[in-house]
Chains A and B, each alone.
Chain A
Amino acid sequence: MADTVPDEVHVTGTLVWYYHVCPREAWLMSRQLTPDEEDDNIRIGRLIHEESYVRFAREVTTAAGKMDRLVRRDGQWVVYEVKKSSRHEVSARMQLLYYLLQLHEDGVEAVGELHFPEERRVVRVTLGPSEMCEIQNTVKEIQTLMSQPLPPPPKRIPVCRQCAYAEFCWA
């Protein structure tokens, strides 16, 4: 039996986000078991993403994944993260903290901004000592989960109704 645990679980911002939405989804994602690409919600999310770019210029790709935007404003580095709705604000905040942590480890002190263009809302996120602790623990948890040979069993949560994996999980 091939050991199909990825050699080194490469945590990315997106994975941090999925982990908070649904750990099972994050595990499947880490194995490239991406859901049916044509799911409506995924596509609408992508549309909003593209739309925000008309205003927001280009995304920045780093080892930590794709940041929506990194800019220097008033002498301060700011990371933007654009989301469809604030329904998963907690997950989005963790994703942003992960980017801030990565930047911090690269010697760049930045602040984060969560953008919800549909709601015309911006949330500021900063990486203080307690947030640092919180995100570092999360990364450890994710690495533990990803090294498991099996995904966590499906749990029925509100997200299931909208999830592209639903048919996979409940088949």
Chain B
Amino acid sequence: MVEKSLYIFSNGELKRKDNTLFFETTEGKKFIPITTVREIFLFGEVTFNSKVLDFLSQQQALVHYFNHYGYYSGTMYPRERIVSGDMILRQAEHYLDTSRRVAIAQRFVQGAAQNLRRVLKYYQGRGRDVENPLDKIESLIPSVSSYDDVNQLMAIEGNIREAYYQAFNSILSNAYFRFEGRTKRPPKSPLNALISFGNSMLYTTVLSEIYKTHLDPRIGYLHATNFRRFTLNLDVAEIFKPILVDRIIFSMIDKGMLKASHFVKASEGIFLNDAGRGAFVKQWDERLQQTIQVRELGRSVSYRRLIRMELYKLEKHLLEEKVYVPFAARW
């Protein structure tokens, strides 16, 4: 199945024409083969009418839209095609029963911590001094299983991340990307702007994958569910942040692919501009298409598909067929 993402940075109009997609700007026109589009990211100012929305829903394509600063504003999530009442009941059951909810939330925290540790190990292997943060994370990991309250789990997860951030200035030697604490809404440094933007790309990507499963994105376990917004994607994203988002950020900075000219200062914060977002998104798209070997399956799958398989593992946990073991990166 060919499923590709379409990223629109220019301002223009998206139309339905001859049963396919058509994007028109002042510079030109382009047809996009609808059968290959699974999700569209809108960064520019794009107008489209309800006919286009209806068409995209029929094609089961999601639309993620971002505001002028690259903040994620929302997703057009078409009505699900594959629904299993049985699965939704189980999902809710595991949420309502505190001990079951905690069991899943713990695994998300452990899985995230394992992959954070893996990233630091990798940089330790390349001669960076990350020993203190690494020791701290390793001492915190075993304690996760002793917490039986979701708020405490969120707190410990915060502590683990805090330790991880301590390593950033050892990993990155570029002064422009110095790290002085995590700031969000608005991010107050270029590195924070990158982390925020990268994370929102991951949240939306996980959401697109949830759409292809029987899970309801509104029921999460670690992040508080309030049934008004998507939370399950935030949970699953924790597992993949270190290996997808952070690794891209580090390698782009390392290779000098990101410069001061990619950022813009505005309304109290610092944000990526179009060129910066474009550069990141190109790497992001490539990364998701990269494949890794999955032994149990006997073949390679892309990182994007790996996210899907993580959701399948969660489904099997909810069916009580097989306990969920989060994906652990091996390098």
Q: CB-defined interface of A155-171 with B at 8 Å, one 1/0 digit per residue?
A: 00000000000111011
Q: How far is the CA of A38 from the CA of B321 in the complex (A)?
A: 25
| Complex CA–CA separation, A37 to B312 (angstroms) | 15
| Stretch of A27-35, A51-59, A92-100 with 4 or more beta carbons under 8 angstroms from chain B | A27-35
User: Can you sample 16 A-B contacts with CB below 8 Å?
Assistant: A2-B89, A32-B86, A33-B315, A34-B82, A36-B1, A36-B82, A37-B81, A37-B82, A38-B212, A151-B319, A151-B321, A167-B297, A167-B308, A168-B312, A168-B316, A171-B309
B84 touches A171 (CB 8 A): no
Q: Are B214 and A33 in contact (CB under 8 A)?
A: yes
A171-B1 CB under 8 A given contacts A34-B82, A150-B319: no
- Of the four ranges (under 10, 10 to 19, 20 to 34, 35 or more), the interface on chain A belongs to 20 to 34
What total count of A-B pairs have CB within 8 Å? 62
Q: Would you call A4 and B309 a contact (CB within 8 A)? A: no
Which residues of chain B from 71 to 94 have a CB within 8 Å of any chain A CB? 81-87, 89-90, 93
B172 touches A (CB below 8 Å) = no
Among residues of A, the one whose C-beta sits closest to the C-beta of B314 is A171
B83 & A171 in contact (Cβ 8 Å cutoff): no
A1 to B92, CA, bound (A): 11
Contacts of A37 in B (CB 8 A): 81-82
A4 and B308 in contact, given A150-B321, A151-B321 (Cβ under 8 angstroms): no
> Considering the chains assembled together, what is the distance between the CA atoms of A150 and B315 in angstroms?
12
Spell out A's residues near B (CB within 8 Å): 1-2, 4, 31-34, 36-40, 149-151, 166-168, 170-171
**A53 to B88 Cα, complex, angstroms:** 36
- Main secondary structure on chain A at its contact with chain B? loop
- Inter-chain contacts of B319 with A (CB < 8 A): 150-151
Cα distance A38–B294 in the bound complex, in angstroms: 21
Question: Cβ of A32: which chain B residues have Cβ within 8 Å of it?
Answer: 82-87, 214
Tell whether, in the assembled complex, residue B1 and residue A38 are in contact, meaning their CB atoms are under 8 Å apart: yes
How distant is the Cα of A151 from the Cα of B87 in the complex, in angstroms?
Answer: 14
Question: Is B178 positioned at the interface, with any CB of A under 8 Å from its CB?
Answer: no
Docked complex Cα distance between A167 and B310 (Å) = 10
Nearest Cβ in chain B — how far from A151, in angstroms?
A: 6
A104 and B151 CA atoms in complex are apart in Å by: 61
**A168 lies within 8 A of B82 (CB):** no
Determine the chain A residues whose CB is within 8 A of the CB of B310 once the complex forms.
171
Q: Is B296 in contact with chain A by the CB < 8 A criterion?
A: yes
CB <8 Å contact, B1 and A40: yes
Taking the complex as formed, is B18 at the interface, i.e. its CB lies under 8 A from any CB of chain A?
A: no
Asked whether, in the complex, the Cβ of B86 is within 8 Å of the Cβ of A4, the reply is: yes
